[in-house]
Amino acid sequence: MNAYDEAKRTYQNLGVDVERALEVLKNIPVSIQCWQLDDVKGFEDGGNSLSGGIQTTGNYAGRARNFDELKSDLLKAFQFIPGTKRLNLHAIYAVSKTRVERDRLEPKHFKPWLEFAQSCHIKLDFNPTFFSSGMVKDNLTLSSPDETIRAYWVRHGVACRNIAEYIGSEQKSPCLFNVWIPDGMKDTPADRLAPRIRLKQSLDQIFETDMDERHVIDSVESKVFGIGIESYTVGSQEFYMNYAQQKGICCLIDNGHYHPTENVADKLSSMLLFNRFVPLHVTRAVRWDSDHVVSFDDVTREIAREIVQSGQPERFLIGLDYFDASINRVAALVIGARNFQKALLSALLLPQERMRTLQDEGKYTELLVLNEEAKTLPFHAVWEAYCLKENVKSDHAWYQDILDYEQNVLNQRS
């Protein structure tokens, strides 16, 4: 009996159908972020430095500098990521021979991305880009008191939402349209209300037109604080949760956007109870929203466990969000994506029904025993079998291909 057959027998004794778990896993889409591969530079003016509440560090060789290089790196990464994948884009990745102002972006500037996605048999998600621009003044965009600045970013938001609708209608799958802004203040504000009034007015304009949910799913994303806005974030969790409920749109949860002592996994069931969809950005925050590569750690596994335990994983719109320029960027993309797949599989292999019964019967000692002993079940044999079924290389086998790609492709980029 091989390791996989032995693992299946072990899990079967606990009431877990491994084959069914693998079938569920391969059909849970995970949206892979394109911006890991170029340090969130985008294609404007050859790639600007980051500003507006975000920052990347490191100068590892081989950053993607254009559409062709980014596509090449994505294709290489996709070779080693099992399961159903989506691709998450930002507006700064518009494909054009000449620079296009962000408030003038059109669907045609993302048609090459749509064609690329169709060739890979994946779907796209889309985000407006409210950072790294000369039109970000005093760390303010949609909440700016300067009407010229605010109007520019409203036009950008409207243009990007139209692009998301185009993408969704063309790909026959809803495109998640997610708004995050860096607006806030470094020190204590004199007026907290006025910027939020302006932000609400701006969002009302962006979301004014009703769109078919078969094409676009709207969401807004909060943050506790950011670089340069340590004392006041206009788009706080309370603001966006209330706004989303009022507008009937989604409030995206990024697990790096909360106080380090908050358990983000604990928020998910409450969000699911009152929302049709729960969009997610999965990252690894070290002390703050530092966007480290997703690890197979307790935080990630708890998030995945909540998704699986809901019995409705299709209502979670899962995306990854991290960027690290200090290591091989393609490897970073693969590591994080595989780790979240592992977290989902780990959750799918738990004896959920038995655990629920023990909880309902108040048998908390036995529940604790089962929780702890589940941690040493033969998970890795199942993961290796899953990789084989998905025709991707297993652990300890894929990294050499990345090293070869680095030598032959990444290191040739000057």
pLDDT digits (tens, 9 = 90+) for 141-197: 999 999 999 999 999 999 999 999 999 999 999 999 999 999 999 999 999 999 999
Tokens read off for 171: 């790909």
Confidence grade of residue 242 (pLDDT, cut at 50, 70, 90)? very high
CA-wise closest residue to 256 among 323, 338, 311: 323
Residue 1 has a pLDDT of: 58
- Give the mean pLDDT of 107-114: 98
- Give the mean pLDDT of 103-111: 98
Selecting from 3.40.50.800, 1.10.10.60, 3.20.20.150, 3.40.50.280, what CATH number does the domain 28-348 have? 3.20.20.150
Residue spans per domain, the chain: 28-348
In whole angstroms, give the CA distance from residue 166 to residue 175: 9
- Give the mean pLDDT of 401-412: 97
Q: Which helix (H) or strand (E) holds 118?
A: helix 111-120
Confidence grade of residue 45 (pLDDT, cut at 50, 70, 90)? confident
DSSP string, 266-288: HHHHHHHHH-S-EEEEE-EEESE
pLDDT per residue as tens digits for the range 70-100: 999 999 999 999 999 999 999 999 999 999 9
Assess contact for 395 and 384: CB atoms under 8 A: yes
Q: What positions carry a catalytic annotation?
A: 180, 221, 223, 254, 257, 281, 289, 291, 321
Q: Which residue has the higher pLDDT, 238 or 50?
A: 238
Assess contact for 102 and 151: CB atoms under 8 A: no
Mean predicted lDDT score pLDDT of the chain: 96
Percent of the chain with pLDDT over 90: 94
- Give the mean pLDDT of 126-131: 97
In whole angstroms, give the CA distance from residue 334 to residue 275: 31
Confidence grade of residue 396 (pLDDT, cut at 50, 70, 90)? very high
Residue 385 has pLDDT above 60, yes or no: yes
Assess contact for 7 and 383: CB atoms under 8 A: no
Residue 134 has pLDDT above 80, yes or no: yes
Residue 46 has a pLDDT of: 59
Residue 150 has a pLDDT of: 98
